[in-house]
A and B are shown apart, each in its own frame.
Chain A
Amino acid sequence: MFRSVFGRLLTETGCVLRGVQRRPTHGGVSLRGLSGLKDREQFDLSLLELLVCPLSKKPLRYAAETNELINEELGIAYPIIDGIPNMIPQDARLIQKHTDPSPTPTQV
Chain B
Amino acid sequence: MAASMRLLFRRGIRLSHRNVNVTAAGAPGQPAGCWEPPSCRCFSEAAGDRSTHFGFETVPETEKAKRVYKVFENVAQKYDTMNDAMSLGVHRLWKDTLLHVMHPQPGVRLLDVAGGTGDISLRFLEYVCFQQERRKRRAARSMQAPSWQDISNNYSTEEEEDGPQESRAVVCDINKEMLRVGKQKADGLGISAGLSWVVGDAEELPFDDDQFDIYTIAFGIRNVTHIDQALQEALRVLKPGGRFMCLEFSKVTNPVLARLYDAYSFQMIPVLGEVIAGDWKSYQYLVESIRKFPDQEDFKGMIEDAGFYSVKYYNLTGGVVALHSGFKL
A residues apposed to B, CB below 8 Å: 8, 11-12, 15-16, 21-23, 25-26, 28-29, 32, 43, 46-47, 50-57, 59, 74, 76, 81-92, 94, 96, 99, 102, 105, 108
New A-B contacts (5) at CB < 8 Å, excluding given A8-B187, A28-B193, A84-B199: A50-B207, A83-B183, A84-B179, A87-B199, A87-B206
A and B contact pairs by CB, cutoff 8 A, 22 listed? A8-B187, A11-B189, A12-B190, A15-B190, A22-B191, A23-B163, A23-B193, A28-B192, A50-B211, A52-B208, A53-B206, A54-B200, A55-B2, A55-B5, A81-B176, A84-B176, A84-B179, A84-B183, A84-B197, A86-B199, A89-B201, A99-B1
Residues of B within 8 A of A (CB): 1-3, 5-6, 9, 126, 129-130, 133, 161, 163-164, 170, 174, 176, 179-180, 183, 187-193, 196-201, 204-209, 211
Residues of chain B with a CB closer than 8 A to A47's CB: 170, 196, 198
The answer on a CB contact under 8 Å between B206 and A54 is yes
Residues on A with beta carbons closer than 8 Å to the beta carbon of B133 = 21
The residue in chain A whose Cβ has the minimal distance to the Cβ of B172 is A87
CA A74 to CA B2, docked complex, whole Å: 8
Q: State the Cβ distance, A20 to closest chain B Cβ, in Å.
A: 8
Contact of A25 among B190, B201, B208 (CB under 8 A): B190
Q: A76 to chain B: which residues have CB within 8 Å?
A: 2
CB-defined contacts of A56 to chain B, threshold 8 Å: 9
Closest to B182 in A: A84
Q: Which residues of B lie under 8 Å from residue A25 when comparing CB positions?
A: 190-193
Chain A residues lying within 8 Å of B2, measured Cβ to Cβ, are 55, 74, 76, 89-90, 92, 94, 105
Residue numbers in A under 8 Å from B192 (CB-CB): 25, 28, 32
Known contacts A12-B190, A55-B6, A99-B1: A84-B200 contact under CB 8 Å: no
Which residues of A are found within 8 Å of B190, using beta-carbon distances?
11-12, 15-16, 22, 25-26, 29
Q: How far apart are A29's CB and chain B's nearest CB, in angstroms?
A: 6
The answer to whether residues A43 and B199 also contact, given A51-B206, A54-B204, A74-B2 and a CB cut-off of 8 A, is no
Tell whether, in the assembled complex, residue B176 and residue A54 are in contact, meaning their CB atoms are under 8 Å apart. Answer: no
When C-beta atoms are compared, the residue in chain B nearest to A86 turns out to be B199
Cβ of A7 to closest chain B Cβ, rounded Å: 8
In the complex, what residue of chain B is closest to A87 when comparing beta carbons? B206
A90 contacts B3, C-beta separation under 8 Å: yes
A84 with B180: CB separation less than 8 A = yes
